[in-house]
Chain A
Amino acid sequence: MYPSIYIMAFEDMHIISMKDFSRDTIDHILATAEELEPIARGKRTSDLLAGKILAVLFFEPSTRTRMSFEAAMTRLGGSVLNLGSVEASSITKGETLADTIRVVNGYANAIVIRHPKEGSAKLASEFSSIPVLNAGDGAGHHPTQTLLDLYTIRRESHLDGLRIALAGDLKYGRTVHSLCYALSLYGAHITLVSPKELRMPNAIIKDLEDRGIEVKQTESIGEAIKDVDVLYVTRIQKERFPDHAEYQRVANSLQITPELLVQAQPGLKIMHPLPRTNEIDQRVDLTHHACYFEQAFYGVPVRMALLALVMGAIE
C-alpha cells in the first residue's frame, strides 16, 4: 500500500493521506521540522515564506489545527487568508467546493482545508493548481496530526522499535488508525487497550499483522502500561454508549492516574491528541510522563515544514 522507499519532490505536492508517504519521505519531513523548531518556539525569526499566502478553509470548527497552521505560516513570515465562518461565505449560496477551490487558487499560494465530508481534500486537490493540505476530511484522513504524533515520538522517545500502547476509542478514532499504519513503517510493537465495544476493527489489525507488526490486545490499562515507551490516549465519546452508567464504567477503567503510573517504565511518555475530558487525571500533568501539551506545540514545526516544502521554499 505504501510506495517504495524514496523521497518525493515536495514542491506543489498535495498532502492528502499518510498512505502517500514512504518512510524516507516521513523522515525527511520530521528532520525538516526539527530544523525549524527554534523558529516555531520564537527563538529565531524567519522570512522563508515572506510574500506567500496560505488560504485557510475550515468548513467545520477547529481550534488547535487551524491555529497551529496559522502560527506556522506566520512564524515563517507568510500571510494567512481565512475563509471565516461558513455561514458568511458563498457556501450558503450553494457554491460547490470545486468552485470555491478554483476561486481561492487566484488568491493564495497554498490551501489548507478541513471539511466534514470524506474525500473532500482529494476532490479539492483535483481542482487546484496550488498545493492542498488536508487538515481533516470527516472520518477520513488527517495526515498532519499523524505527522505531529510521529514527530512527538521522535523528539520525546524514539521511533525505531518503539513499544507503544494505544488506549481508548480504537474503533472510530481515525487518529489511531492512521498512526498505527505509520508506525508499522518503523517496526513498532503495538498494544491496543480498549473495551470490547471500542476495539480496533479486525481489518486494520490484520493489515498491521500482514506487515509483520506484533499487535497485542487487552482491556487492562494496568497490564499494558508496564512495558511500553509511549502511551497514546484518546478520548472516549459518551455518544458511543447506550447509557451513561456504561460510559462511566468504561471511562473509569481506562483513566490514567499518578497511582497507575507507579507501574510504568521511568521513561514512559503519555500522549493525547486533545481535547481531553477525564481520560487523564490532571495530576498527571505535573509528572515527567506528560507530553500532550508539548505534542500540541509540535504541530507548529511539523506544519511549518510541510508549508515550506510544498511551497518550494526548501527541498
Chain B
Amino acid sequence: MSSDRGSATKEIRVQPIENGTVIDHITAGQALNVLKILGIPGTSKSIVSVLIYAPSIDGTKDVVKIEGRELNVKEVDKISLISPNATINIIRDLEVLHKNHVHIPKKVEGVVRCINPNCISNSNEPITSKFTVSSDDLRIVLRCVYCERVISEDIAEHLL
C-alpha cells in the first residue's frame, strides 16, 4: 500500500478502501449489473468506487469497491453467473485479508427467473426458481429444473 501516495491520477482511479470488499476481474461491462445485484444504489450507505473497462492483463475488466460491506453467498452466486472470472477480496485495515475466485455453483435457487412465461415456476406456486448451472468455454448455461428452458445470454436481465 506504499503507492497510496502515488500520482494524483492513480489515487483517483484506484481509491483504496479501509474495510470492505473489492470485486476484481469483473467481466468488462458488467460492473453496473454487479451493483444491481448488491442493491446499489438503494438503502446501502456504503461508499462505492467503480472502474469500467479498466486495462488488465487479458484486455479489460471492471472493478467494484465497497466500503464497510461483505457479500453473502447468494450475492456471490449471482456475481459468478454474470462474471465467472471475478475475484472477491475482503479488505481489513487496508490489507487484503482473503482473496477468492468466485465459485460457479452447480445449482442456483431463487436467483434467476425462468424466461419461459409458461413455466410453472412463473406461477403462483410455493416454490423458488431452480436452475442447474454448467459452463462451456466460460459461457454460463442455466437450465430450468422445471421446464428445462436454457438461459445462456443476458443472464443479468433475468436475475431476481
Contact = CB atoms under 8 A, between A and B. Distances in A.
A1 to B, nearest CB: 11
A119 interface: yes
A137 B120 CA distance: 9
Contacts of A117: 118-120, 123
A122 B145 CA distance: 8
A122 B125 contact: no
Among A94, A98, A122, A138, the most chain B Cβ lie within 10 Å of the Cβ of: A122
Contacts, number: 49
Interface residues of A, number: 17
Given A117-B119, A118-B119, A96 B124 contact: yes
A126 B119 contact: no
Interface string A107-128: 0000000011111101100100
Interface string A77-97: 000000000000000001011
B125 A98 contact: yes
A86 to B, nearest CB: 15
Contacts of B119: 117-119
Among B118, B123, B149, the most chain A Cβ lie within 10 Å of the Cβ of: B118
Nearest to B123: A117
Contacts of B120: 97, 115, 117-120, 122-123, 137
Given A122-B146, A123-B146, A138 B127 contact: no
Among A96, A119, A122, the most chain B Cβ lie within 10 Å of the Cβ of: A119
Interface of B: 116, 118-121, 123-127, 144-149
Interface of A: 94, 96-98, 115-120, 122-123, 126, 137-140
